[in-house]
Amino acid sequence: AIEVLEEAKPWWEADGDLDEAIDHLEYYAREALALASPKELLSLPGEYNDYRYQPRGVAAIISPWNFPLAIPCGMTTAALVAGNTVILKPAGPAPLIAARLVDILRRAGAPPGVAQFLPGPGGAVGATLVEHPDVDLIAFTGSREVGLWIVEKAGQTNEGQRGVKKVIAEMGGKNAIIVDDDVDLDQAVLGIVKSAFSYAGQKCSACSRVIALDAIYDRLVSRVVEATRSLRVGPAEDPATFVPPVITAEAKAGIERYIEIGRGEASLLFQGEAPRDG
């Protein structure tokens, strides 16, 4: 319900996000058990050698708003079960669900001070975490621009820093679906439309290009247009909604800008009507 309210996630999308968060909890718990056991190495007479993993220290988790529970849950719990302390800095539009996640972790037994919640503007709070000498590990999901900036800053060793910062960065994509001429059109159309327009396409995994062979092109385009025409646009709290509002007015303006670019470079085959209330 928080995701429906805060991120305008349709109910079925929010349910999927919760399911994925649960999967992360189980996966990382099992991985922690596997990694906790020392691995015996080659030992010479009179000695014993093994390999053990050690925590890195303080982990800064900088999470996105489009999967506001699953992704921060995965990044945070992975760091915690490996013995690190965590500072979770959620994306600006997604503080409530992240706060609930940290509250759940604390009630589940995370020791005092081990899981911290630090909301705020990315340019101020996020940048401070990235450059702080006491932060040892940065896990980031977001734009390519910000991700590359983090990689660059983490490569600079600041005064008082204990070691070289480790960065795990998942950044944006430009995803294509390739359609061959022997395709099952029903499956292809369904896959394209769901990938491109579920949650208004606000996913790094969303289809943003379709590459089709000439023999199938015209039939595919016609079917995709008609399937898109049938999609329900509306408020996230309506269970019938397939395409909800985008996350911010800035995001809406960016989409409209790209529509105008498309008009100048290609043909606009279909444009739906936005609800009167926005």
**Domain tally for the chain?**
2
- Output the pLDDT for position 278: 56
- 90 and 121, same domain (yes or no): yes
| Residue 172: predicted pLDDT | 84
Annotated catalytic residue: which of 13, 170, 226, 273? 170
At which of 123, 153, 170 does a domain end? 170
Same domain, yes or no: 249 and 129:
no
For residue 276, is pLDDT > 90?
A: no
Candidates 151, 215, 143; CA nearest to 185 is 215
pLDDT band at residue 261 using 50, 70 and 90 as cut-offs = very high
Look at residue 246 and tell me if it is in a domain.
Answer: yes
pLDDT range class, residue 178, cuts 50, 70, 90: very high
> For residues 227, 230, 233 and 234, what is the CA-based torsion angle, rounded to 10 degrees?
-140
On the CB side of 32, CA atoms within 13 Å amount to: 16
Question: Does 204 qualify as catalytic in the annotation?
Answer: yes
Mean pLDDT of the chain: 94
Indicate the pLDDT class of residue 4, thresholds 50, 70 and 90: very high
**216: part of which helix (H) or strand (E)?**
helix 214-229
Give the 3-state secondary structure of residue 127.
Answer: helix
Is 152 one of the annotated active-site residues of the chain? no
Whether residues 115 and 134 share a domain: the answer is yes
Domain assignment present for residue 272? The answer is: no
Q: 256 and 242, same structural domain?
A: yes
Structural domain harbouring 61 = 2-170
Q: Among the options 7, 13, 204, 207, which is catalytic?
A: 204
pLDDT digits (tens, 9 = 90+) for 180-215: 999 999 999 999 999 999 999 999 889 999 999 999
Q: pLDDT tens, 115-142? A: 999 999 888 999 999 999 999 999 999 9
Residue at 278 is within a domain:
no
> Around Cβ 9, how many Cβ atoms within 10 Å?
28
Q: Same domain for 238 and 121?
A: no
Residues 163 and 180 in one domain: no
pTM: 0.89
Q: Is 79 helix (H, G, I), strand (E, B) or coil?
A: helix
123's tokens = 């340019």
**CATH code for the domain in which residue 246 is found:** 3.40.309.10
